Amino acid sequence: CINRIKTGYTSLVDMTQGKIPHKDAFEVLMKGRELTLRAGLGKQAQIVTEPLEKLASDRIDNETGLEREKVRKFNTIKDAEAWLDA
């Protein structure tokens, strides 16, 4: 499935209903992030409203080498979609 993704694709991740992942889940989340990077992620907008979730997301971004210009965190889907569409 990942071979069908076009390079430069965009992604919107809504973390508003999520919970801070257990430390054991970080490995799985990081593996998923690494797959998205290899597939050619263009930009990713993350909806993050809780400070602790933002810290967890920042850790995954940093540890997987996600470039800062490829990811932004937002409080609303409207703002995130506007950035992805720009």
Question: How large is the average pLDDT for residues 30-49?
Answer: 87
pLDDT band at 64 (very low <50, low <70, confident <90, very high): confident
Best mean pLDDT range from 3-7, 8-12, 62-66 = 8-12
Q: How far apart are CA 86 and CA 74, in angstroms?
A: 15
Q: How far apart are CA 84 and CA 9, in angstroms?
A: 10
Q: Which run of H or of E encompasses 31?
A: helix 23-38
**Nearest in space to 15 (alpha carbons), one of 51, 43, 42, 40:** 51
pLDDT reported for residue 39: 86
Question: How large is the average pLDDT for residues 73-85?
Answer: 95
For a pLDDT cut of 90, what percent of the chain falls above it? Answer: 29
Question: How large is the average pLDDT for residues 14-28?
Answer: 80
Q: Does position 49 have pLDDT exceeding 70, yes or no?
A: yes
Whether 47 and 76 have beta carbons less than 8 Å apart is answered as: yes
Q: Does position 23 have pLDDT exceeding 80, yes or no?
A: no
Both tokens assigned to 8: 């430069």
Q: Does position 1 have pLDDT exceeding 70, yes or no?
A: no
Q: How far apart are CA 24 and CA 42, in angstroms?
A: 28
